[in-house]
Amino acid sequence: MNPETTVRDFCNAVTRCKAAELIDCFTPDAVYHNIPVEPVRGKEAIQATLAQFVDIATDAEFEILHLAVAGTTVLTERIDRFTINGKRIEIPVMGAFEVAADGKISAWRDYFDMQQFMRQMG
């Protein structure tokens, strides 16, 4: 599997709103960093973090606007959408994914405005 396919498949899987399924896309020692907050390491910590917004969403989507690949790194410009507690949230996100030789995500960094997210949650 190539890095682009890995990332596209991951972004498409978000629509199923199941962190337990998404975690299968990661290496055991993966790092997930939402840049506004501290990074988390390892599948268990990543799943717990994802569950905080993926599992509680009644629907979710990572719409990829642009995607670029350089070797094993995939850059995505996205609009991430969630419906949480009846509130529709949409935030622009720039994401960087590093994909290991086995086709699993070894690092994921998302850059976004946390205040924009929190205002919509409020």
The DSSP secondary structure of 33-82, one letter per residue, reads EETTS--EESHHHHHHHHHTTTTTEEEEEEEEEEEEEETTEEEEEEEEEE
Q: Which CATH class is domain 3-121?
A: alpha beta
pLDDT band, residue 76 (cuts 50/70/90)? very high
CA-based end-to-end distance of the chain: 40
Q: Which residue of the set 9, 102, 110, 113 is catalytic?
A: 110
Would residue 80 show up in a list of annotated catalytic residues for this protein? yes
Would residue 110 show up in a list of annotated catalytic residues for this protein? yes
35-62 tens-digit pLDDT: 989 999 999 999 999 999 999 999 999 9
- Segment (H or E) for 88: strand 87-99
pLDDT band, residue 78 (cuts 50/70/90)? very high
Cβ(15)–Cβ(60) below 8 Å? yes
**Which pLDDT belongs to residue 36?**
83
Q: Which residue of the set 9, 29, 80, 113 is catalytic?
A: 80
